[in-house]
Structure 1
Amino acid sequence: MKNLKITAIFAVLAFSPFYANVFPVTPVVIVKTDKAGITWKSESIDVGNIPQGKPKLIRFEFTNTSSKPIVIENVAPSCGCTTADYTKTPILPGKKGFVEASYNAAASGAFMKTVNVTTSDSKTPKTLSFKGTVVS
């Protein structure tokens, strides 16, 4: 019986955090934040009322705030009623570029459209939006 108590005490001590050098540790979360390489003048534009039957050109401008040239790799409008154009040459640090969306205002009523822009700076597309109302 005495041997059983001594064995039990040694087992408890062997598995205790103090003797096993295992201490509770608060996890440290490391978050890496990258400075955005592009600063948009506006990411959302309200064009207000526009006349039906006349395409509307919406221009999104940006500045390259990184230390390296940035290339616009893809511009994808959300629907077939919108076409897009953009700066095709590399945008040097400190220089400006643009993305233009031309909306075909064929149907009257309120609208909201988006354009997704992928650049060499980030593979995650940036969503730009514009809204307004087509009046007849």
Structure 2
Amino acid sequence: MRIFYAATLIFAFAFSTMFAQPKLEIEGGTTYDWGKVTPEESPLKASIKLHNKGDKTLEIKRVKPGCGCTTAPLDTNIIAPGKFATLDVTLNVSTYDGPVTKSISIFTNEEVEKTTLMIKANVMRPITVFPKFLSFPKLFVNEESVGKVVITNNTDKPVKVTGVDVSARVIAGATDGDAIMKVNVKVGDVLNPKVPYTVEATLMPKSTGRLSSSVKITTDSKESGLIEISGWGNIVDPKEEPKTGQNR
């Protein structure tokens, strides 16, 4: 009888060992959401626990962030049954605007070796500019061209313009020098909450070359005291343009 019980125990142990499996479980689920954040909070950080809910040692073979704006070092890659490791996630959102979603791939010794962790945030900027740069139509010497962007005040309070600085330069041309650029923004203008404000920049280039321009708008906002809008373009001589197939 003792031999029978011993054999049964040995068989049960061998059976359980044979079918033992690791099991990764991410605390909080496979999506981590910071919610609404501001660029000033960047980089965003979170410590996420990776549990082994199985009955065999879990090995984290590799952790692969989906882009260079994300890092995810792990404090240990060997997790015993019932234990956990900590994944320290960092996401740089300083240049983002609006919803951001990135992925982190976790490779293990499980039967399905890849698990994907999604990380999310909604970057709220007090003041946004769209598009981000001044885009001019084809530029011709001594002819006016207009570029437009829209500024939106996303706060709940009016923002007043306290200063405007405009510059435009022709570079990499036959003669480097200034170009004449004017904007419709004036000191004292008010950016009302949630109301689009169109900035119009009128440019009069004086020589051919590469245009580099900048509009700097200072405000009384503590959250966004400086709005800087850059612009580029190629300036050509209309006399050198082909007469056939020309679309101006």
Same fold (TM over 0.5): yes
Shift of 1:80: 0.9
Q: Which residue of 2 aligns with 1:50?
A: 37
Q: Structure 2: how far apart are the matches of 1:87 and 1:122?
A: 23
Q: TM-score, length-normalised on structure 1?
A: 0.66
Paired residues of 2:98 and 2:123 also in contact (CA < 8 A): yes
Work out the number of aligned pairs and report it: 103
Q: Mind listing any 5+ residue stretches in structure 2 that lack a counterpart?
A: 1-19, 126-248
Cα 1:132–1:101 shift into 2, 3 Å: same
Cα 1:128–1:90 shift into 2, 3 Å: same
CA deviation profile, 1:9-51 (whole Å, cap 9, x unmatched): xxxxxxxxxxxxxxxxxxxxxxxxx976112222101211122
Cα 1:69–1:61 shift into 2, 3 Å: same
> Is 1:93 paired with 2:81?
yes
CA deviation profile, 1:87-115 (whole Å, cap 9, x unmatched): 32411110112223210012222100110
**Which residues of 2 match residues 36-115 of structure 1 at below 5 A?**
37-41=23-27, 42-53=29-40, 54-107=42-95, 108-115=97-104
Q: Which residue of 1 aligns with 2:105?
A: 116
- Give the RMSD, CA atoms, in angstroms: 2.1
SS in 2 for 1:86: coil
Cα 1:65–1:122 shift into 2, 3 Å: same
Paired residues of 1:82 and 1:103 also in contact (CA < 8 A): yes
Paired residues of 1:72 and 1:87 also in contact (CA < 8 A): no
Paired residues of 2:22 and 2:81 also in contact (CA < 8 A): no
Q: TM-score, length-normalised on structure 2?
A: 0.38
Structure number with the higher strand fraction is: 2
Cα 1:57–1:110 shift into 2, 3 Å: same
Q: Structure 1: how far apart are the matches of 2:104 and 2:33?
A: 14
> Is 1:134 paired with 2:126?
no
Shift of 1:82: 0.6
Paired residues of 1:83 and 1:103 also in contact (CA < 8 A): yes
Moved over 6 A (4+): none
Q: Mind listing any 5+ residue stretches in structure 1 that lack a counterpart?
A: 1-33
Cα 1:113–1:62 shift into 2, 3 Å: same
Paired residues of 1:71 and 1:88 also in contact (CA < 8 A): no
Q: Which residue of 1 aligns with 2:224?
A: none
> 1 or 2 for the larger relative contact order (CA 8 Å, sep ≥6)?
1
Give aligned-pair identity as a percent: 25
SS in 1 for 2:80: coil
CA deviation profile, 1:63-101 (whole Å, cap 9, x unmatched): 211222212110111111111111324111101122232
Shift of 1:124: 2.6
